[in-house]
Structure 1
Amino acid sequence: MPYKTLENLRVLIVDDQRPFQLLLKGILYSMGATNIAFVQTGEQALSKCSHIPFDVLFVDYNLGSGKNGRQLLEDLREKKLLHPAAIYMIVTGENHVPMVIGAVEIEPDDYIIKPFSQSVLRTRLQKIQNRKAQLAPIYQAMHDDQPELVIEACKQERATSSRYQNLCTRIQAETHLKLQQYADAESLLSEVLAFNRVNWALLLQARLCFEQKRFDESMEFCNEAIDTNRLFAEAMDLKARNLIAQGQLEEAMAIVTHAVTISPFSVSRQNLLMDIARELSDLPSLVMASKQIYEITRRAARQEVIHLLNYIRTVIDAASRSEETAQRNKYQQEALLALHRAKREDTVIRDFDFELFESLCQARLESLSGQQYLAKKTYAEVAERVEAQLTAEADPETPDDVPPPPHSTADAILLLNQIGEYEQAVALADRLQSFSGVVDPVLQKLFDEQQQRVEQRRVQFQELNKRGIQSYKEGNYSQALQLFEQALDVAPMNTGSALNLIQTAIQMMADPKLKKPVDLVEKCRKTFRVVDNMPLPEHHKERYKELLNQFNKLKEEKRSFR
């Protein structure tokens, strides 16, 4: 008699190996399945699921160059394309630790290693179907994002003394934590741990203590969980967070690095590694984690360009912070390669002005190579596009819809600070604050760190420029000239100080009583290059025209200055 569990159910097999598709199809037919579809990639599976509500999915973990079984499950959940009773089973021949742990962490309904027998598959499927049927109200409430109903359904199921007591307790405790109902969560977890020190309860209790800033207690539960399971990467993540909270960054770095080795495919884990690496100025780890986040997310259904942008920004930032020339050159080359690769093959940039972003990054790289004038010239070529993006208004048909902060403006600010155009950077930053969209945390950290690094130079520049202005007002033009030159040594492309130097030089050339340095005209010509053909604020624009006219007039009047 044929096995009836799969009868009348829609089954999807996602595997890039045709022989295994046929093998599994034969097994499933003998178990009663008659409605079986096949696809070879995660992208095809996502498309098919958007049109057909499959009941059972058998998905190979490794699906070639596209999204893998873990990413497909995340995408299906994100888009709510799995109905509450659907079964998602990862089927793979991979048994490497990172693959297995990475799959288990995402919590599919089951994970089965090839090869397997029909009897094993039948038993595993029946267990899942029984559980899904018994806990249907809970899964439905979870699918509908109704946490209060989840808790109530769990309570009702636990009252029946069913075989799913532990699972219901776990789901209820997780939901209490999600709602910050700490007393209820602790009561449940204490009840479980009094009889059985299971790892899920240890981890949830550790999370509870951490969220209440009971770091020592949280650490104890983390250590107990890790002692029980040396591959418990999630407990290692939480232990690292406890160590960070207690200021033990080196120890946190060691444990999260180990967790990443065990299971590298978690975006939250890679973000944690980035945070610690940034605090420790560990540039190689910072860049590697940023790249890994981009690689993990580039095949996701909700492709977010921000991960690509932040990877390239992080590499450029690492280049700017590198003290060794070889390392700085290495990061510059990596940034250029990433820009080229993204433009050549990445669909994630399709709806984004990547050309503008690329130009701003190119200018930052030119600045790092000492080509300050070229960097400013590159910015001049795209400044109007930056301005246009910044001033773009929200859709007039939806006046309450405030657009997110323009990405290119952020990169323009990073560039302007890098070349010493502090006033323009501050002006852009002030305007950027008018956008209510959430600023990406990685970008915010890059901003904050750059601000800290340039603050000393900015203060030094402002002091020199201020003293130069004072000397000019006092008629001490030689000293003013010297101070403006020193200010431009600190910020070579600063428009305001360049105009101050030119004004001082013109004053010296025009006054017959003053002793004039022989290179004064050439110095003036060279400084004009800082502002020639550059985008200028209105007050600088008028001043530039006036000074240029004065300089040309002086040259005509005193041909000896040519």
Structure 2
Amino acid sequence: MSYKTLENLRVLIVDDQRPFQLLLKGILYSMGATNIAFVMTGEQALWKCMHGSYDVLFVDYNLGSGKNGRQLLEDLREKKLLHPAAVYMIVTGENQVPMVVGAIEAEPDDYIIKPFSQSVLRTRLVKIQNRKKQLAPIYQAMFDDQPELVIEACKQERQQGSRYHSLCGRIQAETHLKLKQYDEAEALLSETLSFSRTNWALLLQARLCFEQERYEESLELCNEAIDTNRYFAEAFDLKARNLMAQGLMAEAMEVISQAIVISPFSVSRQNLLMDIARDMDDLASLVQASKQIYEITRRAARQEVVHLLNYIRTVIDAASRSEELNQRNKYQQEALMAIHRAKREDTVIRDFDFDLFETLCQARLESLSGQQYLAKKTFATVSDRVTAQIEPEPDPENPDETPPIPHCAADAVLLLNQIGEFEQASALTQKLQTVSGAIDPILEKLFSEQQHRSLSRQASFNELNKQGIQLYKESNYEQALLRFEQALEVAPMNTGSALNFIQTAIQMMADPKRKKPLELVEKCRKTFRIVDNMPLPEHHKVRHQELLQQFNKLKEEKRYSR
């Protein structure tokens, strides 16, 4: 390799410290670089790469309040802005374990800690360039997402006795696993491990065993890898998954917590923590992991609003499940603060109807505070917008355009179940299921858990309502009214049961022998509030109008004047 390592190459320095930019520029000039660009932030670097190609990037890990070096790398890969021969080197003064491990897990081409000498930088850079050149067919096939070509190129390189024999073996084994070619992966890994118990081979063999439900073997391999490297966070992850698969949730929580301490900046790791915390009913860990996922992804390429929504949903769900009033209030305040913060500073909500989401969350919080009527009234103000999300009007100018995912409709279902409008929730859920991509995995779990927790509540409601209907048919109005009243105690805002109560009360009011009729009148008036000016299915609208006319007619007869 020529002494002029960077000659004729386009170089980008991403660092928010001007003195270091100038220092690194001097070093790079001595290595042959003449085409050097500078930016201060990850966002500026992304823009540069979208408008031009760079051969070598030197990126500081910590770039202030914007994207960090890891997030920038993920962005560039996501958008295919790093060509296969490009070198991405993280250059930073960070030496804390979470920072270092987090950066290494993103697999940059190299990671170098400040301060460093010119000779060290040159040696590391030349090493990377040699590898990129030698393995160009492999990197190109990986860039093009052609796994079969990756495997073939790796085989050829290994057969030639390449100095990169071990690296090619790792890439080949990973690709076999990705394609679920377990026999080929096992043969390659067994051969590798027979010569050397390298950590990458131990982890991949452990992954293979896990996917084949050979949990004890997988655990042994994970432990061996961890004994070799106590900062091997991915081995901790897989160990936790093995323990979880065997139902050992407390042990799994202990292990994943260790992994989080080592490297907290992994979305998949935080998702695993959420799964374990959910199974253990550990609300604090569940909320914290959800918040961390949102924070990790805020500056990432996939700035998906769903991470923000799921964080807020998880906090509200935790509030609904908290038995202590102080803890419930704390989660309610956290949800409100997250909503206000997002409205104030988060760019991810610009193309999303966040006002609708906020209104539905507000209604859920009102319900949790015991304000069931106010919650239903709040929903009434946005029900048409929820329906429009599920059944959007086609755009005549773009008839083939895919409609946006109806995120907020899912929150409407959570609210309706919460206030006891089970029929409307079920109908909305059925519509949601016909929309591709409407419910993401975390939201699906929230749905499932809410449904599971409310099974006994729904069963009790259905039984009371059913008994009331049967008693009404038998003209036993006293007992029917009692059952409908009890049903409304279980589901205070249920439209069907409210109308059943009103219908029964009207029958009793029409009886001239009835004592204390004014008490029934007042109960009817209060119950009408549940349905008056509320969004109702068509069959309930018709019934509501009929009952309202009957009730007003009875009042006009002045049979119940005080």
How far is 1:302 from its partner? Answer: 2.1
Match of 1:370 in 2: 370
Match of 1:38 in 2: 38
Distance (Å, rounded) in 2 between the aligned partners of 1:30 and 1:124: 15
**206-215 or 429-438, which moves further after superposition?**
429-438
SS in 2 for 1:38: strand
Cα distance change on mapping 1:546 and 1:351 into 2, 3 Å? same
Match of 2:210 in 1: 210
- CA displacement 1:168-203 (0-9 Å, x = unmatched): 111111111111111111111111111110100000
Match of 2:419 in 1: 419
Distance (Å, rounded) in 2 between the aligned partners of 1:557 and 1:399: 56
Write the mapping of 1:57-456 to structure 2, written as runs, cut at 5 A.
Answer: 57-392=57-392, 403=403, 405-437=405-437, 439-456=439-456
Tell me, yes or no, if the aligned pair for 2:173 and 2:189 is still in contact at 8 Å: yes
How far is 1:363 from its partner? Answer: 0.1
How far is 1:84 from its partner? Answer: 0.5
Cα distance change on mapping 1:282 and 1:394 into 2, 3 Å? farther
Equivalent residue pairs, number: 561
Distance (Å, rounded) in 1 between the aligned partners of 2:72 and 2:228: 30
- CA displacement 1:421-472 (0-9 Å, x = unmatched): 0011111111112113363100000000000111111110111111111111
How far is 1:3 from its partner? Answer: 3.5
- CA displacement 1:270-314 (0-9 Å, x = unmatched): 000000000100000000000000000011122101000000000
**545-554 or 71-80, which moves further after superposition?**
545-554
Cα distance change on mapping 1:394 and 1:107 into 2, 3 Å? farther
Letter in 2 for 1:498: A
Cα distance change on mapping 1:220 and 1:392 into 2, 3 Å? same
Cα distance change on mapping 1:561 and 1:425 into 2, 3 Å? farther
Match of 2:466 in 1: 466
Cα distance change on mapping 1:403 and 1:217 into 2, 3 Å? farther
**390-399 or 376-385, which moves further after superposition?**
390-399
How far is 1:561 from its partner? Answer: 3.9
Distance (Å, rounded) in 2 between the aligned partners of 1:417 and 1:10: 58
SS in 1 for 2:95: coil
Letter in 2 for 1:124: R
SS in 2 for 1:194: helix
Distance (Å, rounded) in 2 between the aligned partners of 1:283 and 1:485: 34
Letter in 1 for 2:449: E
- CA displacement 1:219-271 (0-9 Å, x = unmatched): 11000000111111000000011111111011001100110111000000000
* Alignment gaps of 5+ in structure 1: none
How far is 1:404 from its partner? Answer: 6.0
Letter in 1 for 2:453: R
Cα distance change on mapping 1:213 and 1:456 into 2, 3 Å? same
Tell me, yes or no, if the aligned pair for 1:484 and 1:498 is still in contact at 8 Å: yes
SS in 2 for 1:13: strand
SS in 2 for 1:112: strand
Tell me, yes or no, if the aligned pair for 2:407 and 2:439 is still in contact at 8 Å: no
Distance (Å, rounded) in 1 between the aligned partners of 2:400 and 2:173: 38
Distance (Å, rounded) in 2 between the aligned partners of 1:502 and 1:137: 76
**276-285 or 541-550, which moves further after superposition?**
541-550
Match of 1:554 in 2: 554
Tell me, yes or no, if the aligned pair for 2:373 and 2:530 is still in contact at 8 Å: yes
Distance (Å, rounded) in 1 between the aligned partners of 2:235 and 2:132: 28
Aligned: 1:504 with 2:543: no
How far is 1:419 from its partner? Answer: 0.2
SS in 1 for 2:195: coil
Distance (Å, rounded) in 2 between the aligned partners of 1:125 and 1:251: 42
Cα distance change on mapping 1:280 and 1:394 into 2, 3 Å? farther
Distance (Å, rounded) in 2 between the aligned partners of 1:438 and 1:528: 34
Q: TM-score, normalised by structure 2?
A: 0.98
Distance (Å, rounded) in 2 between the aligned partners of 1:396 and 1:222: 57
Tell me, yes or no, if the aligned pair for 1:151 and 1:175 is still in contact at 8 Å: yes
Match of 1:522 in 2: 522
How far is 1:556 from its partner? Answer: 1.4
Distance (Å, rounded) in 2 between the aligned partners of 1:239 and 1:394: 49
SS in 2 for 1:301: coil
How far is 1:560 from its partner? Answer: 3.1
